[in-house]
C-alpha cells in the first residue's frame, strides 16, 4: 500500500480551532486538486479551522501553468506567491504544518501541509500511474489509510476526478466557497409582486406627493422589511401599481411611480417596452442616478436591444455619455475557429453578432436609404467594440459600458471590468446564467450572480430579471418545447 521509508512520517497535528469543535471531532484534512487553486487563488484560506494538504503533483501542475497572461496563469502565480510567503514565515519544520493565519487571514484556523515523501499508494491497475489526477488520488488513498480516525477529503472542480475518487471509496467534494448562492432560484430578481390587499394593510396613514411628474407614496407595514432599495413592486389587479422603492427607514418605505415606456410618446430610440419587466429595465437604463445595473433573462427577452437603445438615446440625443463601449467574454460555443485577422475591433466583430443584429433593428427609421446610411455611420462612430483582454489599467469617463454575456465571467474578471468605471460612466451587465460556457463556472459561482447579490440594495444600482421572450412566436415556442 505504501512506500517504505525510514524517515518518520509527520503527525499532521491540527492547531486549535478558532471555532468551537468537540475534541472527539478532529479537523478535517482537505487535499486540494490543482484546478481549485487556479480557479480561486485564495482557496487556501477558505477552509475555516480545517487543515489543507497539497500533493507534490499539485505543485508541479501549478508550475506548468504559471506562464502566460491568461486568468489561469495569473491565479497560478498568485498561489505560488502565497505559498512562498507562508513558507518564509514558517519558523519550525514544514512537516509540522504551517499556520494558514500567518498572512493575516484570521478566518483560516488550520495548517498547511505539503507532501514531503514519496507515496506509492495501491490503486487499481486500470488507472495509469503516470496520470496527474491518479497520482493525487494515490495521495488521498495514502492519507486516508494513514489517518483512519480523521476525515480526509479530496476537493476538486473536476467532476470526473470526484467520480473516480468516489468509485475508489474516497470522500470527494466540489469547491463550494465560490458559490454566491447554493440555489439560484433564490437569486434576487429586482421585482416583487404585492398582494391585492396591499393598500388595506399598508395604507393607514399613507402620505403622497408629486414632484417633477412623479407620484411618491410613504407607506408602512409588514411587507416593508422585505423591500430593497431600487426594487420594483407592482400590483396586477385593476387600477394596480408599478413603482420603485426609493427609500427604506425601518418599517417605512417611499415608493415612486414609474415612467411608462410602453407608451409611444416615451419611446427610447424608437423602442417601447413590450412587457412589465422591459418597462422596469428602461426606467433603470434611462435613470442618470443609476451607475450600475444588471439585466438577466433568457434569449429573446430584449436585454441587448434595450441596453443599446438606451445607450444611443443618451449618447446621441441626450449627450449624457460620449460613446458606447461594448465588450464580452470570448468563449466559443462550438469548435474555436482559430486566430482572427485585423485590428482589435475587427477581431471582436465575429463575437458581436448580437450587436449587429440589434443595430439593424434600431436603424429601421424613416428617411430612405441615404438617411439610414447616414444614421448608421453616426451610430458606428459612437459605438466601440473592445476586447476584455486590454481592459486592465483603463479608466472610462462618461461612457455607456455594456458587458454582454456576463455570465461567462468569474467574480474576479467582473471586478476588473466594473472598477474601470470613471466619473459619469454607466455600466450595464447582460446575461443568462442558464447559458454558461466557461469551464468550472456554475450558476452559483458566476461573476454575474456575484454582482447581482453584492450590489443589491446600493442606491445607485438596479437589477431586473426579464421573464417573457419577445423575439418571435417561433423562438418562444422553441424555448418551451426544445
Per domain, the residue ranges of the chain are 29-173, 184-257, 270-481
408/447 Cα distance (integer angstroms) = 7
Is residue 2 scored above 50 in pLDDT?
Answer: no
Query: 270-481 in CATH: which number?
Result: 3.40.50.300
What are the φ and ψ backbone dihedral angles of 447, each rounded to 5 degrees? -65, -30
d(Cα 139, Cα 56) in Å, to the nearest integer?
9
Model pLDDT, residue 480: 75
Mean pLDDT confidence for 257-274: 92
Q: List the single range of 187-196, 200-209, 214-223, 454-463 with lowest mean pLDDT.
A: 200-209
Residue 9: the pLDDT is 41
Q: Decide if pLDDT at 335 tops 50.
A: no
For 443-464, what is the mean pLDDT? 92
Question: How wide is the angle at C-alpha 46 spanned by C-alphas 40 and 49, nearest 5°?
Answer: 160
Q: Which residues contact 395 (CB under 8 A, 6 or more apart)?
A: 420, 421, 422
Q: How far apart are CA 40 and CA 62, in angstroms?
A: 13
Q: Which of 150-159, 321-330, 472-481 has the lowest mean pLDDT?
A: 472-481
Residue 302: which region, alpha, beta or left (left: phi > 0; alpha: psi -120 to 50)?
Answer: left
pLDDT at 66: 87
Q: How far apart are CA 151 and CA 251, in angstroms?
A: 47
Cβ burial, residue 468 (10 Å; 0-12/13-18/19+): middle
User: One fold for both 29-173 and 270-481?
Assistant: yes
| Residue 187 burial (CB count, 10 A) | 20
Closest CA to 36 of 128, 134, 150, 172: 172
* CATH number 2.40.50 given to 184-257: no
21, pLDDT greater than 60? no
**For 9-26, what is the mean pLDDT?**
46
Give the residue ranges of DSSP H helices in 90-211.
132-146, 159-167, 198-202
Strand pairing report for 252-257 and 241-249: antiparallel
Query: What's the rounded Cα separation, in Å, for the pair 331 and 271?
Result: 30
Quick check: 167 and 44 in contact, CB under 8 A?
no
126 vs 310, residue with greater confidence: 310
Nearest to 26 by CA among 35, 18, 17: 17
The CA–CA distances, whole Å, from 213 to 209, 216, 256, 357, 428 equal 10, 10, 10, 35, 26
For the whole model, what pTM was predicted? 0.74
For 307, what's the count of Cα atoms within 13 Å in the CB-facing half-sphere? Answer: 31
What's residue 39's pLDDT?
84
| φ, ψ for residue 452, nearest 5 deg | -60, -45
Would you state the pLDDT for residue 418? 92
Contact by Cβ (8 Å): 235, 196:
yes
Highest mean pLDDT among 48-57, 168-177, 193-202, 282-291: 282-291
Task: Give the three-class secondary structure for 254.
Answer: strand
Q: How confident is the model at residue 84 (pLDDT cuts 50, 70, 90)?
A: very high
Residue 262 pLDDT exceeds 90:
yes
Half-sphere exposure of 148 (CA within 13 A, CB side): 1
| pLDDT of 366 higher than 50 | no
Our CA angle for 262, 265, 268, nearest 5°, is 65
Class of domain 29-173: alpha beta
With vertex at residue 228, the alpha carbon angle to CA 227 and CA 229, rounded to the nearest 5 degrees, is 130
> Does pLDDT of 12 surpass 60?
no
- In which band, very low, low, confident or very high, does the pLDDT at 445 lie, cut at 50, 70 and 90? confident
Q: Which three cell numbers stand for residue 381?
A: 462612430
Instruction: For residues 333-358, give the mean pLDDT.
Output: 54
Residues 6+ apart with CB under 8 A from 459: 229, 230, 289
Side-chain half-sphere CA neighbours of 5 within 13 A: 12
pLDDT of residue 72: 81
Amino acid at each position: 500500500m505504501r512506500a517504505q521509508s525510514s524517515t518518520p512520517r509527520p503527525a499532521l497535528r491540527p492547531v486549535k480551532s478558532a471555532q468551537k469543535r468537540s475534541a472527539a471531532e478532529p479537523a478535517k484534512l482537505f487535499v486540494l486538486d490543482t484546478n481549485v487553486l487556479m480557479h480561486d487563488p485564495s482557496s487556501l484560506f477558505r477552509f475555516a479551522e480545517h487543515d489543507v494538504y497539497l500533493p507534490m503533483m499539485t505543485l508541479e501542475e501549478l508550475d506548468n501553468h504559471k506562464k502566460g497572461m491568461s486568468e489561469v496563469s495569473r491565479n497560478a502565480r498568485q498561489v505560488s506567491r502565497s505559498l512562498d510567503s507562508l513558507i518564509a514565515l514558517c519558523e519550525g519544520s514544514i512537516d509540522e504544518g504551517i499556520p494558514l493565519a500567518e498572512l493575516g487571514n484570521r478566518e483560516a484556523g488550520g495548517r498547511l501541509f505539503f507532501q514531503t515523501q514519496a507515496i506509492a499508494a495501491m490503486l487499481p491497475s486500470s488507472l495509469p500511474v503516470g496520470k496527474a489526477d491518479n497520482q493525487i488520488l494515490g495521495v488521498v488513498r495514502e492519507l486516508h489509510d494513514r489517518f483512519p480516525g480523521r476525515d480526509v477529503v479530496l476537493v476538486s472542480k473536476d467532476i470526473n476526478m470526484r467520480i473516480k475518487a468516489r468509485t475508489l471509496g474516497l470522500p470527494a467534494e466540489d469547491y463550494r466557497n465560490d458559490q454566491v448562492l447554493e440555489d439560484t432560484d433564490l437569486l434576487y430578481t429586482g421585482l416583487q409582486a404585492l398582494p391585492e390587499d396591499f393598500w388595506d394593510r399598508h395604507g393607514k396613514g399613507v402620505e403622497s406627493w408629486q414632484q417633477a411628474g412623479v407620484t411618491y407614496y410613504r407607506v408602512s407595514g409588514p411587507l416593508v422589511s422585505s423591500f430593497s432599495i431600487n426594487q420594483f413592486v407592482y400590483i396586477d389587479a385593476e387600477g394596480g401599481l408599478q413603482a420603485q422603492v426609493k427609500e427604506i427607514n425601518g418599517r417605512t418605505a417611499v415608493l415612486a411611480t414609474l415612467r411608462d415606456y410602453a407608451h409611444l410618446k416615451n419611446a427610447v430610440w424608437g423602442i417601447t417596452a413590450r412587457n412589465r419587466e422591459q418597462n422596469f429595465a428602461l426606467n433603470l437604463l434611462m435613470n442618470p442616478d443609476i451607475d450600475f445595473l444588471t439585466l438577466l433573462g433568457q434569449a429573446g427577452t430584449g436585454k441587448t436591444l434595450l441596453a443599446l437603445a438606451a445607450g444611443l438615446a443618451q449618447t446621441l440625443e441626450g449627450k449624457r455619455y460620449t460613446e458606447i463601449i461594448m465588450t464580452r467574454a470570448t468563449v466559443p460555443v462550438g469548435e474555436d475557429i482559430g486566430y482572427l485577422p485585423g485590428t482589435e475591433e475587427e477581431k471582436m466583430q465575429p463575437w458581436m453578432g448580437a450587436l449587429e443584429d440589434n443595430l439593424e433593428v434600431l436603424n429601421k427609421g424613416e428617411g430612405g436609404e441615404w438617411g439610414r446610411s447616414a444614421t448608421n455611420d453616426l451610430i458606428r462612430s459612437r459605438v466601440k467594440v473592445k476586447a476584455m483582454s486590454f481592459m486592465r489599467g483603463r479608466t472610462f469617463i462618461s461612457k455607456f459600458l455594456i458587458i454582454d454575456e456576463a455570465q461567462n465571467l468569474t467574480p474576479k474578471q467582473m471586478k476588473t471590468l466594473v472598477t474601470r468605471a470613471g466619473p459619469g460612466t454607466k455600466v450595464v451587465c447582460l446575461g443568462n446564467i442558464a447559458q454558461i460556457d466557461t469551464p468550472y463556472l456554475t450558476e452559483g459561482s458566476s461573476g454575474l450572480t456575484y454582482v447581482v447579490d453584492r450590489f443589491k440594495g446600493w442606491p445607485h444600482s438596479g437589477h431586473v430579471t426579464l421573464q417573457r421572450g419577445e423575439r418571435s412566436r417561433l423562438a418562444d415556442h422553441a424555448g418551451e418545447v426544445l
